[in-house]
Each structure stands twice: as structure tokens, then as C-alpha cells.
Amino acid sequence: MNMSEKSKAHVDSCRFCWMCHHICPIGNATGQERNTARARALGISMVNRESIDLSEIMDNIYECATCGACVHECVTGWDPVMFTKETRLQAALEDKLPEYINKMLDSALELGNPYGKSELDRALADAIETHSDKNDLLFWLGTDARYMASSEGIRAIKVMEKTGVPFTVLADETASGAQLDFLIGGAEETKEQMLRAAEVMNGYKTVVIYDPNDAKAVMQTYKEYGVEVKASVMTYTSYLAEAVESGKLALKKTDKTVVIQDPYQLSRDLGESDAIRTVAGAVAGVEEMLCNRDQTAWAGNILMAAYMPEIIKKVAARRIFNAKSVGAKAMLTASVSEYVALRSVEQDEVEILSLEDLILGE
């Protein structure tokens, strides 16, 4: 397999190491050795040594969430996410992607989303239409909220309205490139999609990004790929936290208590974990569960649930179990994708809340 020497070195180191064995959210949920960074590195090394064909390991390669828990845990600096994404890119170049990934990829390239959706929900389209006028501030909803969690997209718009600041939402918002980056890494198609999104964003003074996955892409991955965004970019959580602190967003304190499910894209990749606590603390008491802030455990997402739904439910159920273990009655997340994953678990012991649930009281 055509792989960079850097990635080969990381593969050959990881295949002998067990230090992050305990940290993979998918491995913990399935209990399978194959869902560890070590096992993934072993498979890739066998391809590199021509013992097996690349196509034989690709199902396993797409079982990785690329959440970076293993990278964060590694005291020796190895990076399983790097070689996992590089393997996905090489499989795309060699036409050895699994068919279910090819289908999602074709949709992401043709329709701007991997879910095969061509139209917005009517209620969301109407909510977007009320903010079609051009303003200095652009509110970037993201693919998951637009096509797979439209009710959350509508309510996020309502929360933004409560700040009293005029903003624009785009009816024809392009994809940020974050999902293409997950599917095929730094391919030319990924960078082209990112460049198109950056061009749109550069027409505004400020861009507030709702989905943490898009925020990570725009604020971190774009720089790695040489894509420049000249607008001031903020996460939804940091924008709301500033609005709370400035008095633009007036919230009423309740007797509810929540534990925080930190999205890894914010807390681990972007170093932001206080903002959600600022917003939540204005409405409810805030407590912590195990694995919080940059040590957070991923709770699942919409994209991977499209091709491995039962495993994602297990991941989400395990995170709910973590909340129950500290006696929590309510779990709050700022990730629309994790919210959907957590809500897919049938249980009635822990209330799953989005920021919209908490702020709007709906």
C-alpha cells in the first residue's frame, strides 16, 4: 500500500502496543479486540507487507470513529487517527472502499450530504427563510442538522433569535467538507469542498458554527489543508457563552441538574470545554461524570449509525451508563450528532438534553 513513511512508522509502533487498549469507545462498547488501535495497526501492517489485500481490512478501518481518544492517551506520540485516515484515502484511490462507503461518498459529492437527501424538511426551510437577508453574522447549521435532525436545526435557530442579534442562515448551505474528510481523508475532493465552503464564509464578518464536527473542520483541519477562512469563526457554544456573559442571552435558573457530555471536537481538538458549562450553569446545576472535558468519551454519531447502527447504539448506551454511574438524572450535549445517537437508546433513567432543550425548556 502506498503510505507515507511517517504513517508506516506509527503503524509499526502501534501494532506492538497496548497502552490505549482501554480507551477506544467502540472497542469498549463491542468488547472486540478488532476495535482497538493496535488491531487496526496490525491489519494495516499486514497489507503493507503484502500478506493480505487492502480490501480485506476496510470494514475494520471504517469502524474507527477518529475521535482521537487513543492519540490523546498515547504518551509516546503515536497517531492511529493519522494512519487510519491515510488508509481510507488510499482505498479510495485504489477503488477498494466498501460498497456502503462508496454509496455515501457518491451522495456526499453529488448532493452535499452522505445520506442521499435532496430536499430540506419544510419546517426547517421555512425557519431558514426568515433569516435569508444578508447580515454580518452567518449561522452555519451543518449537514446533520439540515438533513437528519431538522427539529434541532429549527430550535437552534430559535436559540440564536433569543440573542437579539440579526443573522443569516443559508438555504443552499454547502457542506463544510468534514464528512468527506471522515470518509476519504485529505483527498482533492475534500479540499475542493472545503474551499467552496470557505469562499461562502468569507462573505461574512462572523460565522457561528452549530455542529462541533464542522467547527473542528473549519477551525483546525482547514488550516492543515491550506484552506483560509478570513471571517471570524466561533463555535455555537462559545457564541452562546459570550451572549450569556454579556446579557444578550437572558436565561432563567431552574432546579434541574445536568452532567456534561463534552463533544471531543470541542474539548479535545479545539480546547473548548468551559463554554457549554457557562451556558448550562445559567439554567441548571452542573455536575461532572467520568471522562469529562479533554478526557471525554465519544457517544456516537449520525454518520456512522448509517452503516453500523447497532454498534453506535452500544457506544451511546455505554456513555449513558457512565452518566448513571455517577447518579445523573440528565445528560447535556452540545453535539447534534451525539444527541441523536444518545436519544436512539431506549431507556428512561437518564434524560438526554440538547442545549436547545435546556434553553428553550421544550
The string of pLDDT tens digits covering residues 250-273 is 999 999 999 999 999 999 999 999
The stretch 192-207 carries a mean pLDDT of 98
- Distance separating alpha carbons of residues 351 and 332, to the nearest angstrom: 8
Indicate whether 66 and 129 sit together in one domain.
no
Same domain, yes or no, for 64 and 160?
Answer: no
Note whether 137 and 220 are same-domain residues: yes
Do residues 74 and 13 make contact, with C-beta atoms less than 8 angstroms apart? no
Position 320 confidence tier, pLDDT thresholds 50, 70, 90:
very high
The residue from 214, 241, 268 where one domain ends is 241
**Assigned domain for 117 exists:** no
Distance (Å, whole) CA 14 – CA 38: 5
Q: Are residues 86 and 136 in the same domain?
A: no
Distance CA 60, CA 212 (A): 25
Assess whether 259 and 223 both reside in one domain. Answer: no
Given this model, what pLDDT does residue 217 score? 98
Cell readout for 309 is: 447502527
pLDDT for the residue numbered 102? 98
The residue written with cell numbers 468527506 in the block is 180
Residue 16, pLDDT score: 86
Q: Is residue 14 part of a domain?
A: yes
- Give 270-283 pLDDT, tens digit per residue: 999 999 999 999 99
- The DSSP result for 39-88, as a single string, is HHHHHHHHHHTTSS-GGGGHHHHTT-----HHHHH-TT---HHHHHHHHH
* 232 and 314 in a common domain: no
Which of 181, 210, 241 is the endpoint of a domain?
Answer: 241
17 pLDDT above the threshold of 90: no
For range 273-298, the mean pLDDT: 97
What is the Cα–Cα distance from 254 to 284, expressed in whole angstroms?
A: 6
pLDDT recorded at residue 183: 98
**256 shares its domain with 218:** no
Contacts for 9-13 with beta carbons within 8 Å, 24 or more apart? 10/41, 10/78, 10/79, 10/80, 10/82, 10/83, 11/41, 11/44, 11/45, 11/48, 11/83, 12/41, 12/45, 13/41, 13/76, 13/78
Decide if 313 is inside a domain: yes
pTM over 0.95: yes
- 133 CB neighbour count, 10 Å cutoff: 8
Angle between helices 5-14 and 37-48 (to 10 degrees): 130
Residue 145 lies in a domain: yes
Question: In the predicted model, what is the mean pLDDT of residues 158-165?
Answer: 98
Q: Is the pLDDT of residue 21 over 90?
A: no
**Residue 113, in any domain of the structure:** no
Residue 352 maps to a domain: yes
Q: What is the pLDDT of residue 50?
A: 95
- The C-alpha cell at 103 is 454509496
Helix axes 274-281, 236-246, angle to 10 degrees: 50
Same domain? 150 vs 92: no
Claim to verify: residue 328 and residue 283 sit in the same structural domain? yes
Residue whose C-alpha is closest to residue 58's, from 20, 22, 90, 18: 90
pLDDT, tens digit, 9 for 90 and up, residues 107-155: 999 999 999 999 999 999 999 999 999 999 999 999 999 999 999 999 9
**Does one domain contain both 175 and 263?**
no
Domain hosting 42: range is 5-97
What percent of the chain clears pLDDT 70, i.e. is strictly above it? Answer: 100
Residue 177 has pLDDT above 90, yes or no: yes
Number of domains composing the chain: 3
Looking up residue 349, the CATH number of its domain turns out to be 3.40.50
What mean pLDDT comes out for the span 16-45?
93
Q: Does 288 lie in the same domain as 316?
A: yes
Last residue of a domain, one of 241, 274, 290: 241
Lowest model confidence (mean pLDDT) among 1-10, 13-22, 109-118, 297-306: 13-22
Query: In percent, how much of the chain has pLDDT > 90?
Result: 96
Residue 7: per-residue pLDDT: 93
- Tens-place pLDDT, residues 209-261: 999 999 999 999 999 999 999 999 999 999 999 999 999 999 999 999 999 99
Tell me: do 11 and 89 sit in the same domain: yes
pLDDT at residue number 141: 98
Instruction: Say which amino acid occupies 146.
Output: R
Q: Report how far residue 154's alpha carbon sits from residue 123's, in angstroms, rounded to the nearest whole number.
A: 8
User: Across all residues in the chain, what is the average pLDDT?
Assistant: 97
State the pLDDT confidence band at 18, using cuts at 50, 70 and 90.
confident
In three-state secondary structure terms, 145 is helix
Domain-embedded: residue 102: no
Answer whether residue 106 is part of any domain: no
Rounded Cα–Cα distance for residues 305 and 308 (Å): 5
pLDDT at 350: 98
